[in-house]
Amino acid sequence: MTAAPLNQPLAALPDAAGPQGGPLHVGLIMDGNRRWAKARGLPRALGHKAGVDAVRRTVQAAADAGIGWLTLFAFSSENWQRSADEVRDLTGLLRIYLRREVNTLAKNGVRLRVIGERDRFGSETVSAIAAAEEATAGNTRLNLTVALSYGARAEIAAAARALAAQVAAGTLAPGAVDEAMLTRHLATRDMPDPDLIIRTSGEQRLSNFLLWQAAYAEFVFLDVLWPDFEAAHLDQALAEYRRRVRRFGVGSG
């Protein structure tokens, strides 16, 4: 697709409602915080803070658009390789977001869940995550999943190890292992597969995000840095999604 230039206003898009309607599950790779800060001569921490503001706007926009599931790629397992200062800034912002936003999420009917290796963040952050999940557990308007210290290859490997252990124990026949069984051992086992994955900043790759689950997802890459992401950008991606015909490998264009 032709995307809007970096940080420029979006052109008006025609109405384009396809036969499939809107996506049930949207995955979002939030990219561009550091470049946003660098372009403005600001510290990286302020770029990440602006990114948190974009999360707040996007969650509201997704709920307003009637999206049932939104999964945000917030911190990859590879992000631990960044500088200690940046990791500290990111985890600090995470705790602040969880504490300040949980009441708003609960009020707006948003259920928050976290997937990934949460234990790597330390007891204070783990407690904040658990408290936010518990406070929003009964909400049904929007299922918000945040991927933290998450990597899809590690997720698939963990599922394979769990199945291998059952085979070794004699409780599972090797021939019984199929795609559905592996899916049930993933962190997303009770979630629908993503229909649409959006990535900001102009980069066009998955970066180890929901590799198994995204087998038939549609992809939209937007040339906007994440801190500048607005409801209009989400609308642009949804309009592009509705223009497409999803065949799931059956038939051709």
**Domain containing 71 — which CATH number?**
3.40.1180.10
Spatial distance between the Cα atoms of 65 and 238, rounded to a whole number of angstroms: 9
Nearest to 200 by CA among 88, 43, 72, 62: 72
Q: CB neighbours (10 Å) of residue 249?
A: 8
| Catalytic site includes residue 103 | no
Q: What are phi and psi of 112, to 5 degrees?
A: -100, 135
> Does the annotation count 31 as an active-site position?
yes
Q: Which of 7, 15, 53, 79 is catalytic?
A: 79
**Cβ neighbours for 8, distance < 8 A, ≥ 6 positions apart:** none
pLDDT for 253 equals 52
The predicted model gives 107-118 an average pLDDT of 95
Assess if residue 157 is contained within a domain: no
209 within domain boundaries:
yes
206 carries a ligand binding annotation: yes
In a domain, 185, yes or no: no
220 to 9, 11, 43, 56, 163: CA distances (angstroms)? 17, 16, 29, 21, 34
Q: What percent of the chain has pLDDT over 90?
A: 74
Please count the structural domains in the chain.
1
What is the residue range of 102's domain? 25-151+193-243
In a domain, residue 56? The reply is yes
Please give the pLDDT value at position 56.
94
- Active-site residue (options: 15, 31, 64, 193): 31
Q: What is the pLDDT of residue 4?
A: 39
Mean pLDDT (whole number) for 96-114: 92
> Is 80 marked within a binding site?
yes
- Please state the rounded mean pLDDT for residues 145-156: 96
pLDDT (average), residues 114-136: 93
Q: Is 123 labelled a binding residue?
A: no
Considering the domain boundaries, does residue 168 fall inside one? Answer: no
Does the annotation list 117 as a binding residue? no
59 within some domain: yes
Kindly report the number of other CB atoms within 10 A of residue 196's CB atom: 24
Map residue 205 onto helix, strand or coil.
coil
HSE-up of 181 (CA within 13 Å, CB side)?
A: 14
Is 118 labelled as part of a ligand binding site?
Answer: no
pLDDT higher than 70, residue 221: yes
Q: For residues 58 and 65, what is the distance between their CA atoms, to the nearest angstrom? A: 10
Domain assignment present for residue 140? The answer is yes
The mean pLDDT of 141-163, rounded to a whole number, is 97
Taking Cα atoms as reference points, which of 39, 35, 97 lies closest to residue 226?
35
pLDDT confidence of residue 251: 65
- Residue 238 has what pLDDT? 97
What is the distance between the alpha carbons of residues 215 and 106, in angstroms, rounded to a whole number? 32
